[in-house]
Amino acid sequence: MPQIKATRPLAVLGVLGLAFALALPLRTFAAEEPGGPRLLLPPAAPLPADGRYLADDQLKFMIDHDGERTRLRFIGGDEVFYLLSEPAPLGGRVLKYDTGEVALQVAGWGGVTLYTAEEKSGVPAEWADGNIDDFDLKPVAGKDLKAFAARLSQTMLTAFDFAVGFTTEWDDLATADAEKDRALAVDAMRNAARAVALISESPKRAVIAERFHLVRVVEAAQPGLKLQEGTLTISYAPQLGSSGRPSSLAIAKLLQAGFNPAAKT
């Protein structure tokens, strides 16, 4: 007579537990709302905290927040980047430049990764302290605006061999009540000069330097860039506050795309 082996109780319970779980209605694993069940998603990671951050054991950048916008400034640099925040998978968050390129990624558990031109695959960053230098540069007085633009042009010529001038509504921006507009126009000019520095060692440096000679700074409803016949028009938008102008990265990207040797601008 064949012998019948007793099934171990733990194995039976395991099988029954799996069967019970598979038989449960979907609402056990999902939150119901009008219109049907919805899978539960983890909350988005918080924005990185204000302060200075270390990467590769060196102080690399500072973060603070201006309303809903995250501001990034690299240690030793004077440009302020206004980052756009987007949700990412697994409860994370991605912060991007106005070019659409990723600047920072925040994991669901709070870890921060920095992305740069040198670190395209990202480098871990950690909060160091809450000491933040002033993000904003000293304002330029209306009476000094033309001299400021002339100094930028001279710097681009002597440092990078780019003969680029500036034009804008000088008289309108020089008035006492144009302080906010003037700050954005000045920032647009600075970012144009920073863009020249970024592309000064680009393979396209020669063709850009040969054909790019004027920056026109204008007020508009939205910040923007336009390149035509060697003239770069930078639009700033006062209603958007301090973020209402293109970054140096956006300007450099447009110049490199617009001044191909075979392209007409």
CA atoms of 123 and 116, how far apart (whole Å): 9
Find residue 65's DSSP bridge partners. 70
Three-state DSSP state, 221: coil
Phi, psi values for residue 7, rounded to 5°: -75, 135
CA atoms of 227 and 251, how far apart (whole Å): 10
The pLDDT profile of the chain, 265 residues, written as one tens digit per residue, is 444 444 444 343 343 343 333 333 433 333 444 555 554 555 666 889 999 999 998 989 999 998 788 999 999 999 999 999 999 888 899 999 999 999 999 998 889 999 998 888 999 999 999 988 888 889 999 999 999 999 999 999 999 999 999 999 999 999 999 999 999 999 999 999 999 999 998 999 999 999 999 999 999 999 999 999 999 999 999 999 999 999 999 999 999 999 876 554 4
CA atoms of 189 and 202, how far apart (whole Å): 21
How many whole angstroms from its chain centre is CA 107?
Answer: 17
Q: How many residues does the chain have?
A: 265
Phi, psi values for residue 202, rounded to 5°: -75, 150
Q: Which helix (H) or strand (E) is 106 found in, with range?
A: strand 102-106
Q: Which residue from 135, 230, 221, 153 is spatially nearest to 192, judged by alpha carbons? A: 153
